[in-house]
A and B are shown apart, each in its own frame.
Chain A
């Protein structure tokens, strides 16, 4: 009887220990995602402010991994290709970070006329991170004269897997209905090719350039949460930065990121 009760107690303790860890784990997954407002209203913004800044990397910069080209060497192997999950430039500038407003509920209209593109050149996606407004078609270019397939691993929207043969220089993908991101894009034919998309419901998203710089313009005056996402460094969804934008003013918010813990 005593053993039985002890066993029960042990089980109970084990449960108490395991349950929260499981919950944490689940939460971590959600935290990787971009945060979108429940609704967004477009309006004219006059005398809006600007948020800009620089994202830098902190820590030892690992050497960029050279990708192994396993096929179509004549086209894909012309130049050395690197894993672009972490691109650190001069002064530790961190490229390819998405910086965005988390809790904006009204502001300028989403630009439905924009024509985002991703080029498949030398068996590499360029750019590595692309913002695609909800409902806008993404154009895929193929100047490689080899077959590619565009495979987008959506879970909120329907996954896309479309063959873009060597004959097809330009291929459009249907606009999506729901905000979602980050979503990975891969080419199954060339397994090393990888890029990331964000399908966004409002226009306050930017991707940092080689200098690690970003700019969000025409922000209606107010106080906002400013979030970031980076493939290798993760997000600040748990503790986003707070910025206050004044009419016509410019506010600077820099970020320093380090490698996400495994």
Chain B
């Protein structure tokens, strides 16, 4: 038993030791060795290339591309802009991997020792590590607590700094600049969807977000927050308020004129010091002090913004729609709610994660749609669903430059034609059926009020049903999010349709296409089978039996008391 834990204990100790050292000295990897080269070539070179250029044999299929180590541009760092990462930064990325990319965590497949050897080895690809052995780390000591007021302040900065250009109004990565972004190497890149913190490459804690602001994300379009990107850099917040006041005046008195001129002088001086630091000058104590004062305001603002960004995501990635989180359609007495009805707000959505389809050609290795969230109501005759998913772009028709195919955003909701009898009965193949057919609702962005029924016996073997049921649909796109409302009768006359009844567990699965990401035909994101159920109709018996039981119990108690009294007397 102890043996089993020995490795864990050893690792923990080593990590603890490592963290102790990282406080003392950021650069704690061993000297580059043959061992590091061996591990690198065995585990890393397939993607990152033997010479670290990010051009390994697998690189072509990956987006984002594997890091090119030769230019020293590392996205995820605890160091200031323009600085190399610390050894610990590199070690952490190797250990934990990068969410939303092909970089896995190596904590289980490489020993801590091997990972440190790799850190030392990849540093040999870039000379900057030799020139800068003590990179300046970002000071996290001024952290501002996560609170309402701070989030509000951060929200205003989100607009002021222009975050909205790429990340969009509410942060879903749908800004108007999003479709044209490229990285340092000219490959397309998408801004983070700030409502999905679990996809952040460098973690979603407030500190992680703050470090991305101050350090920037090297090699990507995300700029670092350098002092003079902020309004009135060099002024305290009171001074800045005063200057705004002065600037808004139609006419200034001579005294006010002088006052504002002094502010401008102060700001120019702050910018000059910041530039001198970048240019490599060593500052005297007075300049250092005034620079630190100016940066204090920048850091405060960045903490507020980090709190705001943090507030855009759920605490953690939602649990997938199984067990307690499974999709349960709720019974409602009268008319089913339409799109935009407040009744939908009363339900908790079930979360269906989606992944790139990589089984058949053409494959999608770089999916952009994370998941679809679903809610449902039903009444005696009909069922209504609300499907919600994030897509950074609204694409209704766009020609693919390579293939000439028309690309467009779409979704397909998949059910079996016949509900399997019992949990062990076979379901159709999850990828649009096979021997057993599937019944599909297909919706596309160019016809938002129409859902087409399909029958499919395979991904390339789908046909539009000759008889289309009276399905109602309405789809909208706002701020990087689709909402699709669909309503159908529980029962139809078509044998090719799924027939629904309460309390029967029905398999359900999804396909979705992001036209702007090249999704078309088999190239899409998919889910495996999940199940949903029309919750039992709440019975009116609940108003009869529980009170009856209560009444009987009370009666019995009185009886018992009477009996006891008689016996005692």
Name A residues whose Cβ lies closer than 8 Å to a Cβ of B. Answer: 70-72, 135, 137, 147, 149, 151, 153, 155, 158-159, 161-168, 171-175, 177, 188-192
Q: Are B180 and A172 in contact (CB under 8 A)?
A: no
The reply to whether A161 and B223 form a contact with Cβ atoms under 8 Å apart is: yes
Cβ A172 vs Cβ B271 within 8 A = yes
Q: Please, which residues of chain B bring their CB within 8 A of the CB of A166?
A: 162
Least CB distance from B294 to A in Å reads 15
With A149-B162, A163-B161, A189-B162 known, 11 other A-B pairs at CB within 8 A are A71-B176, A72-B176, A151-B221, A159-B218, A162-B223, A163-B162, A165-B160, A165-B161, A165-B162, A171-B228, A189-B165
Indicate whether B216 reaches chain A with its CB closer than 8 angstroms: yes
Give per-residue flags for B125-163: 1 if the beta carbon is below 8 A from chain A beta carbons, else 0: 000000000000000000000000000000000001110
* Interface pair B71/A155, CB less than 8 Å apart: yes
How far does the Cβ of B227 sit from chain A's closest Cβ, in whole Å? 10
Please tell me if the beta carbons of B184 and A159 are within 8 angstroms of each other in the complex: yes
Which among B162, B231, B275 is the interface contact of A174 at CB below 8 angstroms?
Answer: B275
Once A70-B179, A147-B162, A189-B166 are accepted as A-B contacts, the answer to whether A168 and B71 lie under 8 Å apart by CB is no
Q: Closest CB-CB distance, A144 to chain B, in whole Å?
A: 12
Quote the shortest CB–CB distance from B100 to chain A (angstroms).
19
Could you say which of B71, B181, B225, B271 contacts A191, with CB atoms under 8 Å apart?
B181
**CB contact list, B213-239 vs A, under 8 A:** 216, 218-219, 221-226, 228-229, 231
Residues of B with C-beta under 8 A to A174? 275, 278-279
Give B196 Cβ to nearest chain A Cβ, in Å. Answer: 21
* Chain B residues whose C-beta falls within 8 Å of the C-beta of A189 in the assembled complex: 162, 165-166, 177
Known pairs A70-B179, A147-B162, A165-B161; A188 contacts B221 (CB<8 A): yes
Q: Which residues of B contact A192 (CB under 8 A)?
A: 180
Task: Among B184, B221, B222, B231, point to the contact of A167 (Cβ < 8 A).
Answer: B231
CB–CB B229/A164 < 8 A = yes
Which B residues have a C-beta under 8 Å from some C-beta of A? 71, 73, 82, 160-162, 165-166, 176-177, 179-182, 184, 216, 218-219, 221-226, 228-229, 231, 271, 275, 278-280
Instruction: Give the complex CA separation of A237 and B254 in angstroms.
Output: 59
Closest Cβ neighbor of A188 among chain B residues: B221
Across the interface, which residues of A come within 8 angstroms of B73, CB to CB? 159
Residues B181 and A188 in contact, CB atoms below 8 Å apart: yes
In the complex, are the beta carbons of B82 and A158 less than 8 A apart?
yes
- Listed residue (B160, B165, B224, B225) with the most chain A CB atoms within 10 angstroms of its CB: B165
CA distance A51 to B279 in the complex (A): 33
Of B221, B228, B275, which is within 8 A of A161 by CB?
A: B221
In the assembled complex, the Cα of A117 lies from the Cα of B187 at a distance in Å of 29
- The reply to whether A70 and B229 form a contact with Cβ atoms under 8 Å apart is no
Q: How close is A90's CB to chain B, nearest CB, in angstroms?
A: 34
B189 nearest CB neighbor, chain A only: A188
CA distance A44 to B222 in the complex (A): 45
Q: Assess the A163–B223 pair: CB atoms within 8 A.
A: yes
A191 touches B177 (CB 8 A): yes
Residues of A near B224 (CB, < 8 A) are 161-162
Most buried by A among B71, B160, B177: B177
Q: How far is the CB of A29 from chain B (nearest CB, A)?
A: 13
Docked-complex contact A149 and B275, CB < 8 angstroms: no
**Which of B71, B177, B226, B279 is close to A188, meaning CB atoms less than 8 Å apart?**
B177
Please, which residues of chain B bring their CB within 8 A of the CB of A162? 223-224, 226, 229
Query: Across the two chains, which residue of chain A brings its CB closest to B162?
Result: A147
B458 to chain A, nearest CB (A): 39
Residues of A within 8 A of B271 (CB): 172
Name the contact of A71 in the complex, choosing from B71, B177, B216 (C-beta under 8 A).
Answer: B177
Contacts of B161 in A (CB 8 A): 163, 165
Question: Would B179 and A153 count as touching, CB distance under 8 A?
Answer: no
Knowing A191-B180, A191-B181, the reply to whether A172 touches B280 (Cβ < 8 A) is: no
Closest to A150 in B: B223
In the assembled complex, the Cα of A163 lies from the Cα of B228 at a distance in Å of 9
Check B162 against A161 for contact (C-beta < 8 Å): no
Q: Which residue of B lies closest to A166 (CB)?
A: B162
* Complex: chain B residue closest to A71, CB-CB: B176
Cα A165 to Cα B219 in complex, Å, equals: 21
Which one of A72, A173, A177 contacts B280 once the chains associate, using CB atoms below 8 Å?
A177
Measured CA separation A197–B203 after assembly (Å): 36
Leading 4 A-B pairs by shortest Cβ distance: A191-B180, A147-B162, A188-B221, A174-B278
A27 CB to closest chain B CB (Å) equals 17
11 contacts between A and B (CB under 8 A): A71-B177, A72-B176, A151-B223, A163-B225, A165-B229, A165-B231, A167-B160, A174-B278, A174-B279, A188-B177, A188-B180
Task: Give the distance to chain B from A23, nearest Cβ to Cβ, in Å.
Answer: 15
B176 touches A188 (CB 8 A): no
Residues of B contacting A168 with CB < 8 Å? 228-229, 231
Give the one of A135, A151, A158, A188 with max B CB within 10 A: A188
In the bound complex, how far is the Cα of B249 from the Cα of A19, in angstroms?
A: 70
Question: Contacts A162-B229, A167-B231, A171-B228 hold; do A188 and B166 have CB atoms under 8 A apart?
Answer: yes
Q: Is the Cβ of B216 less than 8 Å from the Cβ of A163?
A: no
Smallest beta-carbon distance A118→chain B, Å = 16
Of all chain B residues, which has the CB nearest A175?
Answer: B279
Contacts of A151 in B (CB 8 A): 221, 223
Nearest CB in chain A to that of B219: its residue: A159
CB distance from A180 to the nearest CB of B (A): 13
Of chain A, the residue at the smallest CB distance from B217 is A161
Give chain B residues whose Cβ lies under 8 Å from the Cβ of A147: 162, 165
Residues of chain A lying within 8 A (CB to CB) of residue B228: 168, 171
A41 → B minimal CB distance (Å): 22
In the complex, chain A residues whose CB is within 8 Å of the CB of B219 = 159
Q: What CA separation (Å) do A175 and B176 show in the bound complex?
A: 32
* Chain A hits for B280, CB < 8 A: 177
Q: In the complex, which residue of chain A has the Cβ closest to the Cβ of B231?
A: A167
Inter-chain contacts of A165 with B (CB < 8 A): 160-162, 229, 231
A147, B221: Cα distance in complex, Å: 14
Q: Which of A70, A149, A164 contacts B176 (CB 8 A)?
A: A70
Contacts of B182 in A (CB 8 A): 191
Chain A residues whose C-beta falls within 8 Å of the C-beta of B278 in the assembled complex? 174
Please, how many angstroms separate the alpha-carbon atoms of A72 and B219 in the complex?
25
The residue on A at minimum CB distance from B218 is A159
Contact: B229 with A163, CB < 8 Å? yes
Q: Say whether, besides A165-B162, A189-B166, A149 and B231 are in contact (CB < 8 Å).
A: no
| Assembled-state Cα–Cα distance A167/B267 (Å) | 14
Q: Are A190 and B275 in contact (CB under 8 A)?
A: no
Report how far A189 CA is from B191 CA in the complex, Å: 11
| Bound Cα distance A192, B180 (Å) | 9
**In chain B, what residue has the closest Cβ to A164?**
B229
**CB-nearest residue of chain A to B229:** A163
> B71 to chain A: which residues have CB within 8 Å?
155
Q: Closest approach, in angstroms, between the C-beta of A133 and any C-beta of chain B? A: 13
Q: Do A161 and B160 touch (CB < 8 A)?
A: no
Most A CB contacts (10 A, CB to CB) among B71, B181, B223 go to: B223
Q: Which of A71, A164, A168, A174 has the most CB of B within 10 A?
A: A174
